[in-house]
Amino acid sequence: MDETSFADWSKRAAEWGAAYRSSLRERPVRAKTAPGEIAAQIANAPPERGESMEAIFADFERIIVPGMTHWQHPRFFAYFPANAAPVSVIAEYLVTAMAAQCMLWQTSPAATELETKVLDWLRQAIGLPEGFAGVIQDSASSSTLSAVLVMRERALAWKGNKAGLCANPRLRVYSSDQVHTSIDRAIWVSGIGEDNLVRIPVKGEKRSMDCAALEAAIIRDKEAGYVPAGVIACTGGTSTGACDDIAEVVRVAHAHGLYVHVDAAWAGAAMICEEFRSLWAGVDQADSVVFNPHKWLGAQFDCSAHFVRSPDDLVRTLAIKPEYLKTHGRDGIINYSEWTVPLGRRFRALKLWFLLRFHGLEGLKAMIRNHVAWAQKLAERLRRQDDFEIVIDPVLSLFSFRHLGAGDLDAHNLALIDAINDDGRIYLTQTRVDGRIAIRFQAGQFDMAEEDADTAFEVITEIAKSLDRVA
Ligand SMILES: *Cc1c(COP(=O)(O)O)cnc(C)c1O
């Protein structure tokens, strides 16, 4: 592609992106397509001859876009948000154009130095004390995996990487049953094994780990010859927003020499608002904390912020330093690839820098406070309806509810959620609470306005009524 067409098509792509964003309210949030419908429109073999950009772009609009679920839609209330504020998209255009591999300081000094700075901005923004150092990972799953690997190596006196696990005593890691599935996978991948992830029962409205049970389990395991390695606590669990009592978890864990990792992938963004920090009181004592600026905060996916109290432990666990990667004679510089499992790294700090500068903490705090207020107001409106119940009260901007329709409530609520998502004006997902289906609602899309919560109320109550009439 020559320079002129590169410039022309880049402009066209940018213009398409802007028009797309402004058209979102008119589109159904969830893709209206049946399995296989998109694949059926794609050639079975690669073209021998190059094709024109006109043809490629036309097919993008014709085939691909209708098969997309619109995560930047202001009425996306499913899962958790994956916000990409326009300013972070612009930063990504620039990063994509430069396309640097930022694995070592010397492979792009600006990427490394900016990463150090903006992660320290984030550390201050969420109220973590000095002494925590941050690194950008691709996902909370990878951040948690790194933390679990550190737990493993610490507990095995740094011999696990070399000797493997079969040469070593069995490790134990503890968490509640409210943690994300990425914790299970980190336990599998690290070789610790699911049988050694001890699930501690939860108690109370916040569904927090019972710390007396945690301590009893650690003591029991030690007596039985296991080596307890660490605890994974959560602030804002995915299903219902469960929050462990971090201060108490840390107290128990540290008394027994265990490493503590806190998964706040979603809720961490809200900690830029001082009034929400009581949800993770005690986090300043944790060893490792992850939160995803690519969720609520607005930094285009992927961007997971992993903070650790001891980067040395992380580097000791993950750095290999083959000869060809050594940055001779430059001691004191950071090679972030030694802090993560993958070697190659994209330049992810630029979008954070653009985002934080453009919106300022003030702008981002206002957005988060609005989302929390609107979700709470919607929960109250639904609570006042005779035929709805709030299953889990709002934790920040997440709550779950159930429609008290006719017949089997699980089947009825699954049918309701399907009907709502087929309607297309809003998008919701479900979860199970104590074994029974509940509908989740989270407010968090970057461009959401208060009217969008009103629309959610109208759609939910209108479709619930229409289902009742059919039944
Ligand atoms: C979303 C989420 C994750 C997984 O995040 P990825 O970045 O997709 O790996 C982990 N934990 C919690 C609590 C989450 O909400």
396 in Cβ contact with 270 (< 8 Å)? yes
Which amino acids bring their CB within 6 angstroms of ligand 1? Answer: 80, 139-141, 180, 182, 234, 237-238, 263, 265-266, 292, 304
Confidence of residue 168 (pLDDT cuts 50, 70, 90): confident
> If phi over 0 gives left and psi between -120 and 50 gives alpha, with beta otherwise, what is residue 207?
left
Ligand 1 mean position, distance from CA 182 (Å): 7
- In tens, the pLDDT along 48-64 reads 999 999 999 999 999 99
Per-residue pLDDT at 166: 84
Ligand 1 mean position, distance from CA 85 (Å): 19
Which is nearest to 232 in space by CA: 264, 203, 207? Answer: 264
Q: Which of 83, 266, 429 to mutate to test the pocket of ligand 1 (most atoms within 8 A of CB)?
A: 266
286 in Cβ contact with 262 (< 8 Å)? yes
85 in Cβ contact with 446 (< 8 Å)? yes
pLDDT beyond 90 at 41: yes
Ligand 1 mean position, distance from CA 214 (Å): 23
CATH 3.90.1150.10 location in the chain: 360-470
Per-residue pLDDT at 299: 97
Distance CA 137, CA 324 (A): 23
In the chain, % of residues over pLDDT 90: 93
Confidence of residue 372 (pLDDT cuts 50, 70, 90): very high
Mean pLDDT for the chain overall: 95
Measured in degrees and rounded to the nearest 5, phi and psi for residue 174 equal: -120, 140
- In tens, the pLDDT along 96-119 reads 999 999 999 989 999 999 999 999
Could you tell me the end-to-end alpha-carbon distance of the chain, in angstroms, rounded to an integer?
A: 59
CATH 3.40.640.10 location in the chain: 101-346
Per-residue pLDDT at 406: 85
- Cα–Cα distance list, 375 to 54, 82, 152, 397, 400 (Å): 44, 17, 40, 5, 10
Name the CATH code of domain 101-346 (choices 3.40.640.10, 3.40.50.300, 3.30.1490.190, 3.40.50.1820): 3.40.640.10
**CATH of span 360-470:** 3.90.1150.10
Per-residue pLDDT at 167: 78
Ligand 1 mean position, distance from CA 62 (Å): 32
**By alpha-carbon position, which residue is closest to atom 5 of ligand 1?**
140
Exposed e or buried b for every residue in 341-377, given b needs 16+ CB within 10 A?
eeeebbbbbbbbbbbbebbeeeebbebbbbbbebbbb
